[in-house]
Structure 1
């Protein structure tokens, strides 16, 4: 091995020649990987009478625990850890109740390098995630903290609402005291200046089943020491995977406040009947050189090309190597921890296509042991990776990962056009020859053969990244009247909510959210990203439409079938041309006739002569069966709207 002489005894930069040596000897050595796999618990394992410290660092020659005087004091003591008999981990036990003890690790390697690192398994951290803290998690539980929510009896009824925590309440019109915080998200009786509900009360009224939060773990690019952070970030820059983000707490200097307040938020959502999904980002880290992965076992946790450079399928400068045993173990341990300790109800994997199928199946198995109804899905994009094609966890291999969901960009792009082109058009705004693609995807790709069941298909037209649907429609037709833009927008959302699979709504989509034409707002200010709580009143009819569509979907089993066999048996595409898609649904003793009209004119829909019940017509939803048509043989519907008729046999 080449002798490496660091210029300082702290965090260091690695040159490519040295990395190549490390990679060849460690990362690509299957004997090393298998021999050094450690299946046991890692981290600071707390009990009231002692804390066991366990760190996986098989390539280090010595590891010390650095103990600090309080959370922010000077170094008080360093303790040399013992190497385990099998050379896999370093261990040390400190007697007594060590809740609050603040520590880091110093690792010395055989070539003389010295790295100082946080604990990769840290469950609590100091401000800005700089130090690890021992925590008695029982002391962080809110009052009446109980068990998980009961298993969801029918996953097909799930409706996901994607939300950035800060966006949710930071608007001055939110009526919330703790704006942008865990506690702000659960303040009850909050209203905007017009008296309309905001915050958690609004979500309860909307009727979604799951709220998916963008990353809540500790991320790096927002300064937690500033009371009102100047920075904004979505959170896709991981720092400490096992601790909540401090900028969302009322006191980021206290390592335990963020834990308790996140639990309080989850508890309140559960009490409101809302399940919580956590967006997780295991595919990359923010700064490799200063991340605990690379500082504790250099060269192991990341993928490299043949010349020792990080692979970049994620587009952010580094890719983690989920196929390696200890990276896979870390992901499984982390997800299991959040599910057990915080009662998380689902996980959305960012850039899941960079991971391998074995890892995702192992995650699914671990979650099933906790609660089989925990949702698991991700972005299965086809990304560059040196893994073989049949190993990657992308949409092409969805059938290899039962009950692991995938975002369906097929329906997204059929409805509104290419997401990367502002002026591209889709079914809802004038594109021709999209009808078959819409019909197939509304049925969750029933004939594509890519999925095991419809619940693997996440149906959406808008998400946190790329243009909001409103902004994209505006970019394509900047001079179009607002009423037509609104109808096109509502048509797309209606199709999503009436599609097979699991519908997904971006926060504010129901009131035509705009980000002033900004495509990716991950680091833009609150003025761009905040939820405008006055907009729900401006687009009240659209909000009510979404509320009632969710109710209709929930009460009508034909809109959320559980298997492809049922879809094939019960649904027929009767027309898909000339900007019209029509489907017939066969229930037990009744039929539904659905028409999506994307034409810019009124449409006369012929029907078999008889009496029908209107369920959706001209932007209104009827939840009972009292809206009878009388005997008819046709129905006139407006441009860019949906018609749903019901007829008993």
Structure 2
């Protein structure tokens, strides 16, 4: 590896602004008549000391530059005693000047393979030298090439020959330190992501299945699942347990003969499958994939699929083809695919390719120059910087174009900025107009200004993106952060007024209903079944099931986009483990035997989804239509009742009357308006195909949801 001039760093110098150098000098060596000089190919010039600060064990000298610094070159700082140090790239890298100077618009970063040559490009504007290193597949070095610096800090090389299948890395020298990094734009990687791999893109083609355009976002019913959880249970009936290829198996059943897998999803009636992260992540050894478990929120490589779900993780082609096949398998069953993406942090800041190639640029820092930690994992990606934003947009577009996915769920989206998310939605919808975008809009403690955060309070700035509605979640089932908080389903009448807003698409939060992702359970926190058990451990199971069913029915029948956690429909449990991100399979798996044990509830949820699809009044696409058609009743203050009026042009019934009853051991008489009414749903069954005729007075005596319709 290349060696540079040895410089004794008795003191350090940093370029903090384009015209300003900060010098940190040990106090014990300091004296009154200090002087500093900058040495380059053009000679030596004295620096003007603007400020001298006492910062503990060091003195900080702020010096004025009179000549422009040329990035990519090495400069030496000297003092009056001829003690030398190198000029390191400091906080200037996070300045607007730097962003404008090195903003690169090309779509050619990464490796581009051709039979007779391969071209490589990498963005590393602060590097003084960059090399491309090729390896054989046994990891022995093949050859190292010196790359050429071009416009905007992009280094490139084109090497003649056929290099398919070889591994590659970049070596970048920044601040006199050489670091070896995997290409951030690598679309194929070796096992455990140790190297990028040169592949022939023609060999990863999987024929696409054409789907009809998805008309309204509110027509979606999202079902969240984890690749491994889906099939790993012994009673899943699937052969390729824990693998991508389990998602290709059809007509699978559990031991009771009930459907499982992709066939089950088709029968359930959901429209979109949201997959927890499938890009390459840390903490699961791909050589021994069942030796550990992880949800996948430890991103390592953003463009390449995770290998632990592959049947051949050593084959960089195989995992790509397998994941593409999963998408098309779901498409064949009229199921669309949303990918959970983690653009808010990396697993390890110091070990990331971002930090090795352009130290200090890709991450956000606070006023004291320390890495911000709004994510809680030690680093926040600085999406507001040009090349970070470009990376996010390029990556999302790649998954849409190459894998034909149908949308994204942005993990901890509140870390990202609204300008980035605006550009994401524009780019994605220019490729696939009916793609669904949603994210977690929590207001996290990161230095980004409040008005720039992609949070619920700024939802109007990203009008095509949905937000997980935490008010919906917590008001219905009780606060996620207090197991003792009493939600609506536990007869909390104080929440009735807020429930009316939630059922109406949350107009107090969002301008249009598609921005409200309505849910009461996801992979995070306790499952609803476990939470209810913790809240009231001595309650009879039948009553707990009724409350659970009520909460799910509100999710499915409310205005907005319903979101279900896989297995929620058969009372999924994680044995009361709240944060199961690295818990064993026995905690995280989908227990397919419960699909049979609670078959009646599965049928109930299936019926609710069918009911929502049957009549568009349950999924109105605009706030204006909701205001026109949704009317709440004041006649029964202890019940939550509302009508969907004048909706005959939207489905088979002209008026729909919905009742959500959260009372146990109480009986109410509901007075329906004049006319011939039929009951199509009660707390026990969905009876759309065989409705019950009712007169004007109806007894409401069980916890759950009732739906009455009039032609």
Structure 1 residue 633 displacement after superposition: 2.1
Flag the 1:365–1:261 CA change in 2: closer, same or farther, 3 A. same
Does residue 379 in structure 1 map to residue 432 in structure 2? no
The alignment partner of 1:190 has SS state of: coil
TM-aligned CA distance change 1:3 to 1:480, over 3 Å: farther
Aligned counterpart, 1:199: 261
Which string of whole-angstrom CA distances, capped at 9 and with x for unpartnered residues, describes residues 95-122 of structure 1? 233321210011112x311110000000
Please show how residues 564-643 of structure 1 align to structure 2 within 5 Å.
564-575=623-634, 579-589=638-648, 590-600=654-664, 601-624=666-689, 627-630=691-694, 632-643=695-706
Indicate the residue corresponding to 1:317 in structure 2: 378
CA positional deviation for 1:76 = 1.6
Q: Which residue of 1 aligns with 2:196?
A: 132
Structure 1 residues 222-371: aligned runs within 5 Å: 222-226=284-288, 228-371=289-432
Query: 3-state DSSP class of the match of 1:35?
Result: helix
Give matches, 1:152-551, under 5 Å: 152-226=214-288, 228-446=289-507, 448=508, 450-551=509-610
Q: Secondary structure at the match of 2:522?
A: coil
Q: 1:46 aligns with which of 96, 99, 113?
A: 113
SS of 1:278's equivalent? strand
Shift of 1:400: 0.8
Query: In structure 2, what is the equivalent of residue 75 of structure 1?
Result: 141
Most deviating of 466-475 and 437-446: 437-446
1:157-194 deviation per Cα after TM superposition (whole angstroms, max 9, x unaligned)? 10000001110000011111110100012211211110
Equivalent-residue separation in structure 2 for 1:282 and 1:569 (angstroms): 39
Paired with 2:303 and 2:210, the residues of 1 have a C-alpha distance of: 19
1:576 and 1:475 mapped to 2: Cα distance? Answer: 34
* Map of 2:102 onto structure 1: 36
Q: Aligned equivalents of 2:102 and 2:144: distance in 1?
A: 26
CA apart distance, 1:602: 3.2
Among 16, 20, 25, the alignment partner of 2:92 is 25
**Cα offset for 1:374?**
0.5
| CA radius of gyration, larger in | 2
Q: Say which SS state the counterpart of residue 534 (structure 1) adopts.
A: helix
CA distance in 1, matches of 2:460, 2:518: 17
Question: SS at 2:337's partner residue?
Answer: strand
Distance 1:576 1:434 in 2: 17
Tell me by how many angstroms 1:434 deviates.
Answer: 0.8
Aligned to 1:107: 172
Gaps of 5+ in 2: 1-5, 11-23, 25-54, 59-84, 649-653
Deviation, 1:53, is: 0.2
Maintained 8 Å contact 1:618/1:638 = no
| Structure 2 Cα separation of the partners of residues 182 and 367 of structure 1 | 25
Measure the CA separation in 1 of the matches of 2:552 and 2:138.
Answer: 50
* Counterpart residue number, 1:10: none
Deviation for aligned residue 1:614: 1.1
Q: Counterpart of 1:9?
A: none
Q: Offset of 1:576 from its aligned partner?
A: 9.3
Q: Which residue of 1 aligns with 2:29?
A: none
What TM-score, normalized by structure 1, do the two folds share?
0.94
2:42 alignment counterpart: none
SS in 1 for 2:128: strand
1:11 aligned partner: none
Deviation at 1:222, TM superposition (A): 0.3
**Does the CA contact (< 8 Å) of 1:597 and 1:603 recur in 2?**
no
Map Cα deviations across residues 242-301 of structure 1 (whole Å, 9 max, x no partner): 100000000111111100111111111111111011000010000111111111100000
Change (3 A) 1:91 1:508: same
For 2:279 and 2:383, the matched residues in 1 are separated by 19
Instruction: Decide whether the 8 Å contact of 2:132 with 2:147 is kept in 1.
Output: yes
* Displacement of 1:406: 0.4
CA distance change for structure 1 residues 591 and 76 in 2, over 3 Å: closer, same or farther?
A: same
User: Does the residue aligned with 2:434 lie in a helix, a strand or coil?
Assistant: coil
1:96 maps to 161
Q: Structure 1: how far apart are the matches of 2:9 and 2:605?
A: 62
Deviation at 1:87, TM superposition (A): 4.7
Distance 1:328 1:485 in 2: 46
TM-aligned CA deviation for residue 618 of structure 1: 3.1
Q: Matched residue of 1:177: which SS?
A: coil
Q: 1:65-90, CA deviations, whole angstroms, 9 ceiling, x for partnerless residues?
A: 11102x23211211000111x25200
In the alignment, the residues of structure 2 paired with residue 21 and residue 299 of structure 1 have an alpha-carbon distance, to the nearest angstrom, of: 11
Of stretches 168-177 and 613-622 in structure 1, the one that deviates more from structure 2 is 613-622
- 2:445, 2:635 → 1: CA distance? 35
Is the contact between residue 436 and residue 576 of structure 1 (CA under 8 Å) also seen in structure 2?
A: no
In 1, the alpha carbon distance for the partners of 2:382 and 2:706 equals: 48
- List gaps (5 residues or longer) in structure 1: 7-14
CA distance in 2: counterparts of 1:105 and 1:457, whole angstroms = 43
Distance 1:379 1:513 in 2: 22
Determine the C-alpha separation between the residues in 2 that align with 1:579 and 1:461: 22
- Structure 1 CA distance for aligned equivalents of residues 582 and 141 of structure 2: 35
Q: CA offsets per residue over residues 317-351 of structure 1, 9 Å max, x none?
A: 11000000000000000000000000010100000
Structure 1: distance between partners of 2:443 and 2:8: 38
Per the TM alignment, residue 5 of structure 1 is displaced from its structure 2 partner at its CA by 6.8
Contact 1:595-1:643 within 8 A present in 2 as well = yes
Say if 1:65 and 1:103, in contact at 8 Å, map to a contact too.
yes
Return the offset for 1:315: 1.1
